[in-house]
């Protein structure tokens, strides 16, 4: 119990120091560039319907991203950035091979 109180007390002191402008600098936030979702999808060779299913979003959401009406956020943004660097990464992670994709199977291994 003493350890918990000591850590709490130390955290409180650090918070007070930051409030006074002292202590370590704040974590620097970085802006991530906008993703070209249409180009990312094109790199996979999947239709809009299949790609939306593969990344777990509605086709309408994917269309909004592709048209620039909205930008993906959170986990979707991370997944799309990974797919942009390696279009087959999601497919491989699900245990598929390129023959599956050619046969119309999405990244989840489920036939449409």
Report the C-alpha dihedral over residues 97, 73, 31, 37, rounded to 10 degrees: 50
Q: Given the structure tokens 């650090």, which residue do they identify?
A: 14
pLDDT at 28 (0 to 100): 63
Show the beta-strand stretches assigned E in the chain.
none
Greatest CA separation for the chain: 62
At 11-69, the pLDDT tens digits run 888 888 877 878 766 666 666 678 999 999 999 888 999 889 888 899 999 999 999 99
**What are the residues whose beta carbons fall under 8 Å from the beta carbon of 83, sequence distance 6 or more?**
40, 43, 44, 55, 89, 90
Dist. CA 6–CA 8, nearest whole Å: 5
Per CATH, the number for 37-102 is 1.10.260.40
Dist. CA 49–CA 64, nearest whole Å: 13
- Residue 90's pLDDT band, with cuts at 50, 70 and 90, is low
Identify the three-state secondary structure at position 103.
coil
The model carries a pTM of 0.57
More confident residue, 95 or 55: 55
**The two structure tokens encoding residue 37:** 């979702």
């Amino acid at each position: 119990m003493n350890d918990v109180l000591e850590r709490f007390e130390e955290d409180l002191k650090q918070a007070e120091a930051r409030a006074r402008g002292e202590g370590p600098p704040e974590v620097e936030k970085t802006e991530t560039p906008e993703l070209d979702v249409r180009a990312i999808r094109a790199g996979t060779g999947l239709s809009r319907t299949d790609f939306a299913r593969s990344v777990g979003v509605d086709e309408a959401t994917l269309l909004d991203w592709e048209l620039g009406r909205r930008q993906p956020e959170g986990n979707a943004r991370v997944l799309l950035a990974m797919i942009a660097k390696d279009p087959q990464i999601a497919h491989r992670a699900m245990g598929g091979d390129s023959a599956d994709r050619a046969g119309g199977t999405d990244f989840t291994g489920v036939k449409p």
